[in-house]
Chains A and B, each alone.
Chain A
């Protein structure tokens, strides 16, 4: 735990073994950046390797997804040859891997199999903003508010805590899609407060207009709520126990004995407890985003999750691969953003202390 006085400066602070002089933060950012580049290559490798573990050949699954009923044997053979060439399946595996790695790292996600001449990137990039719209504001808002609520509950205890804590525990443990199912049942099927699922009315053409924005906002509430309250509850519970630990420390007792204003003490406690909460956020981002994608299906929300379901049911193997890679990329990027925030907030990193295993 960082103390508010700041730890002593580490003797090796700011020195890399090569003799480069870097500040603690710069060194931390460099180390993290190289780790994420490694993770990126690993993710690309996984999306290449995993589909090849199974028994089904990609060309077979592509052909199965096409309507070959009306084709002659020669036509089928020709299509097979074309796909084999288009997906480089005539090359040895190591060559295929290098081609895949090379084109993926330059942003080329290849062709879709079901809507063949279309490129995966074009199809996926249409859905990406919708998924991000559901993921980013929801998680950020719920995280901030959850931490404030958790701090208050730990500090105030009493009725506020007694009422809210069990509720937060319950809500924080539910899977997103279960809560989503319940919300749709109550507010769409029973009360009919929402007249249509999806991200916007079917009758409206997406555009950058005020009326379209209002339509999107009206449809946004339910999917937002099904993720927001669960993250809020989970974060509040986590922050509450961290703050209870902090409140039991000597610096808090000392500050109280000195007669420092309560608000200032709460601020100290908040600052120290927020770091493990940030690390915790990085740890659960993958699960959260996975859950968000499943929730999209419930709301027929036009994002990557719904597209993934369609790609799976139509057996569009390259598209599944492309979406999987993009989701992995989103999680990596958000993890990196959280790490940057930790780097800016953690006084130990500024002081150049070696990065150990933090909570």
Chain B
């Protein structure tokens, strides 16, 4: 990581990172500036399904709520869920993967079996069953559910990386010096895999945003009346018939924001991969 930062970042990485930060910045600050305050966003003061106009730049939805206001607040919620879920998944995955790869033996077998199990049993199935049994789903709870079910990828990759490092001389030396497993992992393994950890977080962030919208489409997203996310916006657009009636201003904005965000995260990831892996660069 340090080596990467000391060199210049590849232009594609800079573009993707800048665009992402801009999006997150708009979503984080937007609801303060538009419309006026966060309580007014949910007011059903206008006619339903009015097309974009000077009063409502992105029109209104089935309930007569302003779509732009909802979009800004919804993006903020979705990003928050994505970041929180990504952090949780990355921390769990890094811990389990590093311990399994470093310790080996029975512990490795048990942790790897758990990891592989979580890869073959689809995440959506687990999430649907958990979310359906919980009456009130806040954004933090959703993020926790998503994070604790999506770490398997991170663990799998980190396990392989750690296993390839554990027989290096400096690790053996650290062990001879009596360092604890945790200290060796933190001081002597983590720096080597840090670039990968960051890439894993970027992927998990996208996966978190995707999982939230998928759950919302099934009606298992955030519960409560005065909450909104990109996923619940899509769910409402489909349920209210706005989608089949082609009322584009209701469903295209959240669709475009999800698509662009997921693509930028992917672009960031692949450009970083190229920076770390010189063989993938164009000759």
Contact = CB atoms under 8 A, between A and B. Distances in A.
Nearest to B210: A175
A175 B218 contact: no
A199 B226 CA distance: 35
B122 A331 contact: yes
Contact of A324 (B116, B125, B238): B125
B125 A309 contact: no
B243 interface: yes
Given A54-B130, A177-B214, A245-B279, A290 B248 contact: no
B120 interface: yes
Nearest to B214: A294
A182 B116 CA distance: 34
A290 B124 contact: yes
Nearest to B160: A357
Nearest to A182: B255
Contacts of B124: 286, 290, 293-294, 327
A178 B255 contact: yes
Interface string A22-53: 00000000000001101100110011001111
A128 interface: no
Contacts of B123: 286-287, 290
B7 interface: no
Contacts of B116: 35, 39
Interface string B126-145: 10111011110000000000
B255 A181 contact: yes
B218 A309 contact: yes
Interface string B73-113: 00000000000000000000000000000000000000001
Q: Please tell me the size bucket of the interface on B.
A: 35 or more
B263 A170 contact: yes
Contacts of A237: 270
B127 to A, nearest CB: 9
Interface in B137-164: 153, 159-160, 163
A185 interface: yes
B234 interface: yes
Contacts of B125: 43, 46-47, 290, 324-325, 327-328, 331
A290 B149 CA distance: 14
A175 B130 contact: no
Contact of A286 (B121, B213, B217, B218): B121
A43 B262 CA distance: 29
A22 B53 CA distance: 73
Among B121, B210, B267, B279, residue most surrounded by chain A Cβ atoms (within 10 Å): B121
Interface in B254-283: 255, 258-259, 262-263, 265-267, 270, 279-280, 283
B30 interface: no
Interface string A305-340: 000110011000100110011011001100100000
A286 B119 contact: yes
Nearest to A49: B129
Given A169-B270, A324-B125, A324-B129, A283 B218 contact: no
Interface string A212-254: 0000000000000000000000000100010011001000000
Interface string B206-240: 00001001100111100000000000001000100
A248 B279 contact: yes
Contacts of A297: 217-218, 238
B117 interface: yes
B224 to A, nearest CB: 16
A197 interface: yes
Given A173-B265, A312-B218, 11 more contacts: A50-B133, A174-B263, A175-B214, A181-B251, A185-B251, A290-B123, A294-B218, A297-B217, A308-B128, A324-B128, A331-B120
- Give the 10 A-B residue pairs with the shortest CB-CB distance, closest first: A54-B133, A189-B246, A290-B124, A286-B122, A50-B129, A173-B266, A324-B125, A54-B134, A51-B133, A178-B259
28 contacts: A39-B117, A39-B120, A46-B125, A47-B125, A50-B130, A51-B133, A54-B134, A173-B266, A175-B213, A175-B258, A181-B234, A181-B252, A244-B280, A286-B119, A286-B122, A289-B122, A290-B124, A294-B124, A294-B218, A298-B243, A312-B218, A312-B220, A317-B132, A320-B128, A320-B129, A324-B125, A324-B129, A328-B122
